[in-house]
Amino acid sequence: MNQMKLDKFCLVGAIAALLALIFPLAGVDLDTGKQVAFVGDIPGLAIAMALCVIAGAAFTWIGVRSVLSGTVLLAVAVFGCWQAVSTLYDHGVAGYAGTGFWLFIISLWAFVWRGIDVIANYRSLETAKQQTANVIVPVAFGMWLLFVWEVLVAGFGVPQVLLPPPSMIGVRFVTSTDVMAADFYQTFVKAVLSGYVLGCGSAFVMAIAVDRVPFLKRGLLPLGNMVSALPIIGVAPIMVMWFGFDWQSKAAVIVIMTFFPMLVNTVTGLNAAGKLERDLMATYASGYWSTLFRLRLPAAMPFVFNALKINSTLALIGAIVAEFFGTPIVGMGFRISTEVGRMNIDMVWAEIALAALAGTAFYGAVAYIERKATSWHPSFRVRRH
Amino acid sequence: MTLKEVVNNVASMPASKDAVVDIKNLSLTFQTADGPVYALSDVDLTINEGDFVSFIGPSGCGKTTLLRVIADLERATGGDISINGVSPEQARENRAYGYVFQAPALLPWRSIERNVTLPLEIMEISKEERIKRAHDALKLVELNGFEKKFPWQLSGGMQQRASIARALSFDADLLLMDEPFGALDEIVRDHLNEQLLKLWARTNKTVAFVTHSIPEAVYLSTKIVVMSPRPGRIIDVIETDFPRDRSLDIRETPEFLEIAHRVREGLRAGHSNDE
């Protein structure tokens, strides 16, 4: 086998780690005039750098071909990341990171890139193995991004008001679970879910009516279009005046936001059944409702789920923005607007993380139901012979 | 056997008592932005019980339109038509016919079995009966064992057979087929033609069959209706008397070739008319 082709990523990793051992680890403390820390004083970091040199050199020659070698590479990188973070916080390098430190981060970047690349290209016919690989890739990549964020913020000493490190956000997240749970319950469970169900449900029923009654199609659809163009910033305070400070006004904003996407998609979906299929139902003398339930609604399902997915993210945005315009002293939007004023930026970020998690989980749940309900659709078909 | 004995023109024959489809002086005009389109004009035709009638002609000659008028999927603008003695609309309400389209038109979210039971479901037949009939219909088209598959897991020929099973499932006496094998390759087509003939010979159904293949028309039919376009009209009706349980071998016989020749002559005459 011809293995003489050098693995460039591992080569970059090895050279960067080697240079990291040579270049100064940290900058000079302005008060004392001395360097803050030396690699020689931090055995863990020294070992991690040495490991990177050795592993990098070795894999440059062998090449990274199997998942096993990719995993070894990732393991070395994880150890390196741990040592890098520990150097920042335990050895006072935070805010004073020097050339050597950043070279080490570059080395880690090369290893992580190569390791994830191998797993991303993994193909297996065994579903369980393939799914594991499919999960590992985004998780590993996300963790790497968090690490880079942490290291950049701490290494350069970025003020916390501008951007807190993820560890600080994480700590805030974990220590204020009671507040966050109350906010989540208020905003997501009360406002988002009820508004979503009301908005999507009423639009679905209205779509069937619009489809049945021609004058609604001519008259209501253009009006619905206008409603969807209303700026949420303008509507939210009015809804608060109409429906009060509590979740009802937020649900009303969500109904306005979600109604139109659902209406238009369902109306389109109801016309998705082909002429041939409609003729087929006509030859069976199938009535309106029979044709609706047996042909047109199933054919409309891909469109309906499209709207449900769009609305799942719209609803959360609507609720959070609407809470800026008056709310009882609980809720994700309320928390964000008040904590910004109090310069508690870590709390703001924790709420943003919560919103991202809730939004992703909501979307994922709808997408999962879609996959189960429309498994016949060409985009989900699995050939089972 | 002479040509005269095999073939006799029956365009002017009076409607017999057991006429399933009786069409008199039928015309259909579509109003379009470019002016009226005469899809059918002055069509007279009788289809008797047990007949296998093929409609053949070039594209745009109205053969599919005629079938759709029989099925009440289009309305005639002039003349008379009755199916089993009632109007096409009444016949459709009575579920008097099974219709097989050019494409299988199977619903992708239903398994093959549930596709075949679809008309039975609409006709509110009990579940046990539905499953039993679907089983029988699928057996007729040799698709037993594929009940739980989904349409997209089957080949094109199998899908079309499933759609025929669906048309057979509620046991209508009249079968309307609009180029059902048009999109299939020659071998599959021959096979399905044979199966269709066997089915017809066994069940004594009346079949109206649209095609643009001359051998297919001659092989299958007891009566061949040759049509010509602009305006769509019937220019020849040819009756054949091959035995009901004919085999593909008859395609080599002189009688077969003579009828095919006459059909081709008719098609050619129809073409020269509009030039």
Query: Which of A134, A158, A182 is the last residue in one of the domains?
Result: A158
Mean pLDDT confidence for B130-139: 89
Q: What is the side-by-side order of every strand in the sheet holding B78-83?
A: B35-48, B19-32, B78-83
Confidence (pLDDT) at B273: 53
Instruction: For chain B, list the domains and their CATH numbers.
Output: 3-96+174-273 (3.40.50.300), 105-171 (no CATH)
Question: Domain limits at A332?
Answer: 174-373
Q: Is the pLDDT of residue B124 over 80?
A: yes
Domain boundary among A132, A158, A184: A158
pLDDT at position B210: 92
Question: What CA–CA distance (Å, rounded) separates B97 from A284?
Answer: 9
- In this structure, are residues B45 and B33 in contact, taking their beta carbons and an 8 Å threshold? no
Q: Would you say A72 and A62 are in contact if contact means Cβ atoms under 8 Å apart?
A: no
Q: Which residues pair with B21 in a beta bridge?
A: B47, B83
d(CA B10, CA B4): 12
Q: How confident is the model at residue A171 (pLDDT cuts 50, 70, 90)?
A: very high
* Residue whose structure tokens are 């498994």: A375
Same domain for A201 and A343? yes
DSSP string, A140-155: HHHHHHHHHHHHHHHH
Q: Do A238 and A187 reside in the same domain of the chain?
A: yes
pLDDT at residue number B240: 85
- A145 and A189: one domain? no
Place of tokens 């703001």: A348
Same domain, A42 and A74: yes
Give φ, ψ of B39 to 5 degrees. -75, -40
The answer on A111 and A221 residing in a single domain is no
State the total domains in chain A.
Answer: 2
How many Cα atoms sit within 13 Å of A375 on the Cβ side?
Answer: 11
Residue A175 Cα distances to A73, A168, A348, A359, angstroms: 34, 11, 14, 22
Cis, bond preceding B231 (omega within 30 deg of 0): yes
Q: Which of A158, A190, A216 is the last residue of a domain?
A: A158
**Residues A281-339: pLDDT tens digits?**
999 988 899 999 999 999 999 999 999 999 999 999 999 999 988 888 888 999 999 99
User: Can you give the pLDDT at residue A269?
Assistant: 92
pLDDT at residue A1 greater than cutoff 60: no
Q: Which residue of A276, A277, A278, A284 is the best one to mutate when testing the B interface, meaning the one whose CB has the most B CBs within 10 A?
A: A284
Could you tell me if A129 and A243 lie in one domain?
no
Q: What's the mean pLDDT when you consider all of chain B? A: 84
Instruction: Summarize pLDDT for A12-34 with one digit per residue, the tens.
Output: 999 999 998 888 888 777 777 77
What Rg, from alpha-carbon coordinates, does chain B have? 19
> Which chain A residues contact residue B99 at CB under 8 A?
279-280, 283
User: Do the chains contact at B152 and A290, CB–CB below 8 Å?
Assistant: no
- Please tell me what DSSP assigns to residue B78: E
Using CA coordinates, name the residue in chain A closest to B115.
A294
pLDDT digits 0-9 by tens, B154-188? 988 889 889 988 988 888 888 999 988 887 788 87
- Chain A residues in contact with B93 by the CB 8 A cut-off are 285
Site from A279, A280, A289 to mutate, B interface, most B CB atoms within 10 angstroms: A280
Give the integer Cα–Cα distance in Å for B60 and B56.
11
Assess whether A119 and A183 both reside in one domain. no
Task: Quote the distance between the C-alpha of residue A134 and its chain's center.
Answer: 15
pLDDT-based confidence at residue A357 (cuts at 50, 70, 90): very high
Q: What is the pLDDT of residue B11?
A: 39
pLDDT score, position B13 = 42
Nearest residue in A to B151, CA atom = A376
Q: Which residue has the higher pLDDT, B5 or B149?
A: B149
pLDDT at residue A379 is higher than 80: no
Question: What confidence score (pLDDT) does residue A361 get?
Answer: 94
**Does the CB of A131 have a partner CB in chain B at under 8 Å?**
no
Q: Tell me whether 0.95 is exceeded by the ipTM.
A: no
CATH number at residue A341: 1.10.3720.10
Give the C-alpha separation, B56 to B259, whole Å.
13
Which alpha helices (H) appear in chain B, and where do they start and end? 3-6, 63-70, 88-93, 112-116, 118-122, 127-140, 156-169, 186-203, 214-220, 254-273
Across residues A158-176, what is the average pLDDT? 91
Would you call A279 and B101 a contact, using CB atoms and an 8 Å cutoff? yes
Do A294 and B108 count as a contact with CB atoms less than 8 A apart?
A: no
- What percent of chain A is modeled with pLDDT above 90? 48
pLDDT at B215: 86
Q: What is the mean pLDDT of residues A123-130?
A: 83
Which residues of chain A neighbour B115 with C-beta distances below 8 Å? none
Q: Sorting pLDDT into bands at 50, 70 and 90, what band is A4?
A: low
A107 & A82 share domain:
yes
Q: State what percent of residues in chain A have pLDDT above 70.
A: 98
Angle between helices A43-62 and A99-120 (to 10 degrees): 40
Report how many Cβ contacts below 8 Å link chain A to chain B.
54
Residue B3 — very low, low, confident or very high, per pLDDT cuts 50/70/90? very low
- Asked if A283 and B98 come within 8 Å (Cβ–Cβ), the reply is yes
Q: How confident is the model at residue A355 (pLDDT cuts 50, 70, 90)?
A: very high
Query: What pLDDT, in 10s, does the model give residues B191-209?
Result: 888 888 888 888 888 999 9
Interchain proximity B95–A285, CB inside 8 Å: yes
Q: State chain A's mean pLDDT as an integer.
A: 88
pLDDT given at position A382: 61
Quote the Cα angle for B234-B20-B160, to 5°: 80
Q: What pLDDT score does B15 carry? A: 42
Contacts of B150 in chain A (CB under 8 A): 376
The answer to whether residues A353 and A217 belong to one domain is: yes
* pLDDT above 90: residue A358: yes
> Mind listing the pLDDT tens digit for each residue in B12-41?
344 445 788 888 888 888 888 888 888 888
pLDDT of residue B16: 45
Residue B232 has which token pair?
């769509």
| Residue A360 belongs to a domain | yes
Identify the bridge partners of residue B46 per DSSP, sorted by sequence position.
B22
**DSSP 3-state assignment of A363?**
helix
Q: Give residue ranges of B with CB < 8 Å to any A CB.
A: 71-73, 92-95, 97-99, 101-103, 105, 107-109, 118-119, 121-123, 150, 152-153
One domain, residues A125 and A216: no
